[in-house]
Amino acid sequence: MKNYFSSDFRLGVLGGGQLGRMLLTETQKYDVFTVMLDPSKHAPCSEICNEFHCGDLMDYETVYQFGKSVDLLTIEIEHVNIEALKQLEKEGLKVYPQPSVLEIIQNKARQKQFYIENNIPTAPFQVFKIVEDLKSIEFPFVWKSAKFGYDGNGVKMIRHQKDLIGLPDGECIAEELIPFKNELAVIVARNENGEVSTYPVVEMEFHPVANQVEYVICPARIPEAVAQKARQTAMNVAEAYGHIGLLAVEMFQTENDEILINEVAPRTHNSGHYSIEASYTSQFEQHLRAILNLPLGKTESKVAGVMVNLVGAEGYSGVVRYENIEKIMEIEGVTPHIYGKKETRPFRKMGHVTIVNENMEEARRIAELVKKTIVVKSN
């Protein structure tokens, strides 16, 4: 096995945001030399990785030359230049997740078609080249941009003709509105040897306006039979992709307790942040283990965990100021994570708080208190 630890091995990461910042905790723990590329010179990782490069993740030459400087390449964001990754892979560089997987996942229309082709249950949908064509179909439905959606951007509920006004033009999907009990997620890890493990099913509660996750609850408050079905479905998805690394599988639990795939993220994910405090192996350590083809870690939780996203308050943009952090730190089992972003804006993810407790309902109660107490404003 290659010596990754305290050696001249160079791990490359495309993206230097908060996911990369939390990954660095694990690379530093194992003393893995980590090189990162991000378009912002003030990216959260810029001052704490071993080596930082500033450049466009969608530019072929930038990504290609960066890849030539490392021994293995991974991502913390999927919006990267696929052609450069394909060429690097062709030249012998290990790229995880693989470019062929990223190419499918980057485009939601292609991703949905992949589920149909592989008999993976998903909500019925139609693909459209331009927004104008949506006027011909029946309301209501969920509009999703085929490319570049994130954190609730690129997704909108369409109930009336007027809801189509202002939608960006370009390829999109119209997805049938499915009545569901819960939005769930399962994180799957898979290494080159084919070893696979899943984390417990989590339940996600969304902000009604921003369509952004407010709370992640682990374990999900669902029957064991549904949880087993969700974990098995997530494993089936990872196997279908042949994906190496971490795969976050978002899904719906329907009124009839069926599991439908919503979409996936081929990386560490917001739904797994609770694992830093609550699990035997955090999702970030697990990602590192998976891409380096090391034995996967234990995924069970030590204790119930609830994560609260810290996002910029409405009406505030500019240099960030956090209010009442010291108050939430007085509460037992509460751990804040601040992402190092200097500028806030409404609903921008600025950090998260994990609450761990032996009692799930108590953890959820404290999470509500934390959400009401801490405020992310600007000077």
Return binding residues for ATP.
108, 144, 175-178, 183, 262-263
- Tell me which amino acid residue 275 is: S
- In sequence order, the 6+-apart residues with CB closer than 8 A to the CB of 21 are 44, 45, 48, 339, 340
Coil, strand, or helix at residue 127?
strand
Binding site, annotated residues: 108, 144, 175-178, 183, 262-263
* DSSP state string for 241-284: HT--EEEEEEEEEETTS-EEEEEEESS--GGGTTHHHHBSS-HH
Please state, in angstroms and rounded to a whole number, the distance separating the CA atoms of residues 221 and 202: 8
Would the CA dihedral through 204, 208, 209, 215 be positive or negative?
negative
Contact 237, 316 (CB under 8 A): no
DSSP-assigned letter for residue 148: S
The owner of tokens 């069970």 is 300
Is 39:57 a contact under the CB 8 Å cutoff?
A: yes
Whole-angstrom CA distances from 240 to 96, 119, 231, 236, 262 are: 16, 10, 14, 6, 16
- The DSSP secondary-structure symbol of 102 reads H
